[in-house]
Amino acid sequence: MSTPPLPDYRLITDKVCNLARETGRFLRTEISKLHREDIQSKGPHDFVTYIDKTSEKKLVEGLSAILPGTGFIAEESPDLERKAMNWIVDPLDGTTNFIHGVPMYCISIALMEHDELTVGMVYEVNMDECFYTWKGAPSYLNGKEIRVSGISRVSDALFATGFPYYDYSRLDGYMNLFRYLMQHSHGVRRLGSAAADLAYVAAGRYDGFFEYGLRPWDVAAGALLVKNAGGTVSDFSGKENYIFGKEILAVNKNVYAEFLKVMNDNFL
């Protein structure tokens, strides 16, 4: 019996990027039409609009056409069937930014086959920046190869994070970590989009990113971008449970060991 041919990941990724750009045009068009009554709350600091839902519908339809028979792990459609091969989709990462008119939000799409990420794409709509990669390839930004930074010490590094919006049980330790980094690094930034944060680590703009309370659609694409750009990705314990484990640490390899120790000393 012959072995089925491997998917053409590069071709799939090109189609995903085109789909994201098309959906991004929809987001740019609709933001001026958004009214306060269009905003629904899923919980404290967790919002959704008809734009998120329509964006996701467009993406699900487009991705189903790119790879028929795939399943989905999607933020606004929890009832979609999961299969051996799944698209992990965030139609609008940074919804709070979006509804307040802050120009930083992304479309994030990853392809996972069983437990392996094989395609990752983050499209930052406002800057028209498409970060993408696939199995066995480097990471790219609008056609140009990107790499994580070469910083080798926490004291020389700039970090990104996000603030917890539903799980405050670890807040004291988190604040201890912020305090340490404010005093012993180049600082900590918060964009309001984990997908963008991870893409920026892959591109060497940030030296590392950490956050807890995240979902698979927040981190899957960005995690693959960082890894294929030469970075290290783990959970806070240094293990591999960062897609579904609700915590992620993505840092360049040179500073990873030191930062993991900083986390253990000040947060865990």
Structure confidence by residue, pLDDT tens digits, 228-259: 999 999 999 999 999 999 999 999 999 999 99
Average pLDDT rounded to a whole number, residues 9-25: 97
Question: What number is the average pLDDT over the span 85-93?
Answer: 95
Q: Is residue 2 part of a domain?
A: no
Instruction: Examine the fold and report which residue of 146, 172, 200 is the final residue of a domain before the chain moves on.
Output: 146
Residues 17 and 128 in one domain: yes
**125 and 29 co-located in one domain:** yes
Question: What is the distance between the alpha carbons of residues 243 and 261, in angstroms, rounded to a whole number?
Answer: 21
In one-letter notation, the amino acid at residue 14 is D
User: What residue numbers bound the domain in which 13 lies?
Assistant: 9-146
Q: Is the pLDDT of residue 58 over 60?
A: yes
Tell me the average pLDDT across 61-83.
90
207 vs 29, more confident? 207
- Domain-located, residue 3: no
pLDDT digits (tens, 9 = 90+) for 126-173: 999 999 999 999 999 999 999 999 999 999 999 999 987 777 788 888
13 with 135, same domain: the answer is yes
Whether 158 maps to a domain, the answer reads yes
- Residues 139, 221: one domain? no
pLDDT of residue 54: 85
pLDDT score for 48: 53
Q: Which of 24-28, 125-129, 208-212 has the lowest mean pLDDT?
A: 24-28
Which pLDDT value is given to residue 251? 97
- Whole-Å CA distances, 253 to 139, 204, 231, 256, 261: 16, 12, 5, 5, 14
- 255 and 217 in a single domain? The answer is yes
Same domain assignment for residues 245 and 163: yes
Model pLDDT, residue 37: 54
Q: Does one domain contain both 203 and 78? A: no
84-89 long-range contacts (CB < 8 A, ≥24 apart) are 84/113, 84/114, 85/111, 85/112, 85/113, 85/114, 86/111, 86/112, 87/60, 87/63, 87/111, 87/112, 88/112, 88/216, 88/217, 88/220, 88/221, 89/56, 89/59, 89/60, 89/63, 89/217
Indicate whether 188 belongs to any domain.
Answer: yes
Query: Which carries the bigger pLDDT value, residue 44 or residue 26?
Result: 26
Report if pTM > 0.75: yes
3-state helix, strand, coil in the chain (%, to 5): 40, 25, 35
d(CA 244, CA 112) in angstroms, rounded, equals 12
